[in-house]
Structure 1
Amino acid sequence: MPILALMLNATIWGLSWWPFRQFESAGMHPLWTTVIMYLLSWVVVMATQRGAMAEWWRSPGLWLVTLAAGVTNTAFNWGVATGDVVRVVLLFYLMPLWAVLLARLILKEPLTAMAGLRIALALGGAMAVLAPAGGGWPVPSSLPDALGLIGGMTFALNNVMLRRESARSPGARALAMFTGGVLVAGVSAASMAGVGLAPWPWLPGAVWLLPLAGMALLFFISNLSLQYGAARLPANLTAVVMLTEVPVAAGSALLLGGGTLDGKTALGGGAILAAALLAALEHRRA
């Protein structure tokens, strides 16, 4: 059951790009969809976890979790809704590279030979994915590519900070993450709408409220599944199972026209996934 729960979480996230695009085509910017999606979870946590808000307020470390989780969801959801899903997801999963560096900086974890190999694999994969077809520097060539990279960085920061704040209650940690999803996406969307770079939240009819509520419920279930599975499995197994998101996102994008896969992207993606698998192997040995 814990493995199935994690696979459900990864599958929902791997397919999330499609409903985000449907709402965007109807006039709802992905950031407004993110706000509504996380608002349900935020309300449930506030209603059921008494004392979580006070604990969050007293814990500066959880404020950083709030910021990291908010930027992660803002960047990832915006990126997959507007860019090549395959590239965005692969660049997002450079997370193990950033996790090594942040764990060294924040948790004072040693840099091992295995960590060095992971860094080399991840960097090589990123260079292959980002390499322009006509030659040039391997840098993000579009906003969605940059959002994928930023999302992976902040996801690594979120995970490292959650480890550092492991003594906090699950309710306070969950509230920090959901608050970030609402606040960061909301402030970003309102700022862009205020200067005309994005529309204010709008849907063409009330009938759209039903799938919007269904999407919010699915992501609430997804988060419950993640907490259930991750609490009952070793960290290395959790990391491997969560990689299910990559083939789900890539396969669905290729089938439904949300992305493409050329030789260099496939090669780079293989190296990035290998780095993630090595991270799981290193945790198992530890």
Structure 2
Amino acid sequence: MFIVPRPLLAPLALVVAATLWGVVWYPYRLLEAAGLSGQLATLLTYVVALLVMLAIYRPGRSGGHRGLLLVVSLTAGWTNLAYVLAVIGGEIMRVLLLFYLAPLWTVLFARLLLGERAGAWGALVIAMALAGAVVMLHNPADPWPLPASAAEWLGLSAGVTYALSNVLSRRLKQVSTARRSVWIFAGVLAITAWPAAGEAVPVLAGLGAGGYGLLLLTGLALVLATLCAQYGLAHTPANRAIVILLSELLAAAVSSWYWAGEVMTPREWLGGGLIVAASLLSGKLERGENHA
């Protein structure tokens, strides 16, 4: 029996999490082709994920952090819903690179909400991320380098709320990551339940066994990605973890080329490279804060 050496467990867990997030767009597109809207597919897969988490973990009481947990769960809930809707309707790599502007927003939110000064490294992260976005989004017909579609705006907004939820989570260090995950899954359901619940019954009535199986497998993949990311981040220095997590972009690039025939232009590669470099530099900020 093959046993992974303990020092490799955390990096391997991060690779698994990043790979799953890099390819999760594909089952959601299959579910949309089967007749489920992005909102409904998100709702149902996160119902599966929440039920599995509750089966393996008892969240217990939230203590005096219920209000902050609620805010984190709702911001993270929008992150997950917007991410799914974006990868269903947009070009995968452009959406993901806009999402990966998150370090830029993290620096700004940490300054506004926590009073943290990022210094020269923070300024460099902001400059590189903005330069990458301008290069990637530049359109000669439009003077402003803005997202070109609703999907790209959703990907951008997902990165903003992802950064916000991460900054707020720094005040929840004493709350276990498993409990936070339960709250986050519940936040996704809260965000999606109202617009999607009404269509659930008629759509599910016509969904075949393959569709139900895909819902189940996608929900299980979400749980696995979440638990792997939690374990990996808890046992890996932040500056090393962010390098490993960028393998999500590699998984997305290969899968979007293979399954969707998407190919990035040289300008998008250049802009994406600057955004990735900004993400790598953000690891130095985390190291300087000692995982603050």
TM-score, normalised on structure 2?
0.89
Cα pair 1:84 1:258 within 8 Å, conserved:
no
For residue 43 of structure 1, give the secondary structure of its aligned residue in structure 2. helix
Q: Does 1:137 align with 2:148?
A: no
- Asked whether 1:8 is paired with 2:16, we answer yes
Q: Who is 1:189 aligned against? A: 196
Distance 1:258 1:167, change over 3 A: farther
Q: Give the conservation status (yes or no) of the 8 Å contact 1:29–1:201.
A: no
| CA drift at 1:132 | 1.8
1:113 alignment partner in structure 2:
120
Indicate which of 31, 34, 39 corresponds to 1:31. Answer: 39
Query: In the alignment, which of 169, 172, 179 is matched to residue 176 of structure 2?
Result: 169
Q: Which moved more, 1:174-183 or 1:74-83?
A: 174-183
Residues 131 and 56 of structure 1: is their aligned pair in 2 closer, same or farther, counting only changes over 3 Å? farther
Per-residue CA deviations over 1:120-169 (Å, capped at 9, x if unaligned) read: 10011111122125342111221001001000000101111111211223
Offset at 1:51? 5.0
Query: CA separation in 2, counterparts of 1:146 and 1:131?
Result: 15
| Structure 2 letter corresponding to 1:74 | L
Q: Distance in 1 between matches of 2:150 and 2:18?
A: 24
> Can you give the 5+ residue segments of structure 1 that lack an aligned partner in the other structure?
none
Partner of 1:65: 72
1:96 aligns with 2:103: yes
Q: Distance in 1 between matches of 2:237 and 2:19?
A: 20
Change beyond 3 A, Cα 1:58–1:95: closer
Q: Distance in 2 between matches of 1:63 and 1:258?
A: 40
What is residue 229 of structure 2 aligned with on the other side? 226
The alignment status of 1:151 with 2:158, answered yes or no, reads yes
Q: Is contact 1:26-1:203 (8 Å) kept?
A: no
Kept in 1: contact 2:110–2:167 (CA 8 A): yes
Give 2:164's aligned amino acid: L
Return the alpha-carbon distance in structure 1 between the equivalents of residues 203 and 211 of structure 2: 16
Quote how far apart the aligned CAs of 1:185 are. 2.3
Query: Contact 1:56 / 1:176 at 8 angstroms: preserved in 2?
Result: no
Is the Cα contact below 8 Å between 1:130 and 1:140 reproduced in 2? Answer: yes
Is 2:24 the partner of 1:21? no
Q: Does 1:84 align with 2:91?
A: yes
TM-superposed CA distance for 1:57, in Å, is 8.2
* 3-state SS in 1 of match to 2:161: helix
CA distance in 2, matches of 1:259, 1:241: 23
Give the length in aligned residue pairs.
280
Residue aligning to 2:242 = 239
Alignment partners' CA distance in 1, 2:133 and 2:59: 43
Any conservation in 1 of the 2:59–2:182 contact (CA below 8 Å)? no
Distance verdict in 2 for CA 1:23–1:3, change over 3 Å = same
Q: Distance in 1 between matches of 2:208 and 2:230?
A: 35
Q: AA paired with 1:99?
A: T
Shift of 1:190: 4.4
How far residue 33 of structure 1 moved from its aligned partner, in angstroms, is: 1.5
> What does residue 255 of structure 1 align with?
258
Cα shift at 1:268: 0.7
What secondary structure, in the 3-state scheme, does the structure 2 residue paired with 1:59 have? helix
Q: 1:128 to 1:164 in 2, by over 3 A?
A: same
Greater shift, 227-236 or 129-138, is seen at 129-138
Gaps of 5+ in 2: 1-8
- Please point out which of 72, 75, 82 is paired with 2:82: 75
Taking structure 1 as reference, are residues 246 and 112 closer, same or farther at Cα in structure 2, changes over 3 Å only? same
CA-based RMSD of the aligned residues comes to 2.1
Q: Which segment drifts farther, 213-222 or 82-91?
A: 213-222
Rounded to whole Å, the distance in 2 between the matches of 1:38 and 1:148 is 19
After superposition, the C-alpha distances for 1:50-73 in whole angstroms (9 at most, x for unaligned) are 453x41785211111111111000
